[in-house]
Amino acid sequence: RIAALVALVAVTAYVVQRKTFDRVSDRMTSLTVPYGQRIRISLPDGSDVWLNSGARIEYPVIFKRGERRVSLSGEALFEVRHDEKCPFVVRTYASDIEVLGTKFNVVADEAHDRFSTALIEGRVQLSNRIDPRQPKIVMHPSEVVDLVDGRLAVAGNPDPEEMLCWTEGLVNIGGLSFAELMDKFEQVFDVRIVVARQTLPELGEINGKIRVNDGIDNALRIVQHAADFSYEKNVETNVVTIF
């Protein structure tokens, strides 16, 4: 009888613990990075995430058994802790990114229909959530996958310094249109930019990096070397007007 009672108590404790664990793992927490800031966080499994300005991540208080799943909107750099028995999945509007242990950068900007993944180390597998019929893509180090017309496509080999410069407080201004560049400036400098002219300025060839700490005025002055425009900044309203 004593042995049976001990076994019953042990089973009951296990069931209660299991239900408590499952209930806690269903609780979600989220974090949104204010414009003009960058944040580094550690997930419940010890994985590290660098979140760029405007990014939002959602993840459980405790990861469930057999899976580690987070949701991302915006840009983030992941360094995933290796666990072969527990795959790590990043869900975005365009793709589910499944990894075992790796380092990769993700841009998931649904508002501008922009998705990109750059693999720095390890290996990841991407599935297309917009077009589930597309076969999964297995990425290898030094590859980039972009979303093009609803399809995921390998775009080329990234320069890690170019892709990850934002983690060091730098803005890469190459390869963007004037509108895209102003959108990026709004995020990283935490300002509102209004274009008070009928057409956008034509942006000539421009490359390089701008340090965020130098401010929006310095950034716009640099862009003025490649585009014909003037601007005014209202300090009280934090609005920059492009003329």
Q: Read off the pLDDT of residues 34-61 as tens digits, 9 standing for 90 and up.
A: 999 999 999 999 999 999 999 999 999 9
* pTM greater than 0.85 (yes/no): no
pLDDT of residue 16: 46
Question: What span, in angstroms and rounded, lies between the C-alpha atoms of 101 and 125?
Answer: 12
Give the residue ranges of DSSP H helices in 166-232: 178-189, 215-223
Which whole number is the average pLDDT over 94-123?
90
Structure tokens that stand for 70 in this block: 């987070």
pLDDT of residue 23: 55
DSSP letter (8 states) at residue 126: E
Expressed in percent and rounded to 5, the helix, strand and coil fractions of the chain are: 25, 40, 40
- Pick from 239, 103, 196: nearest CA to 158: 103
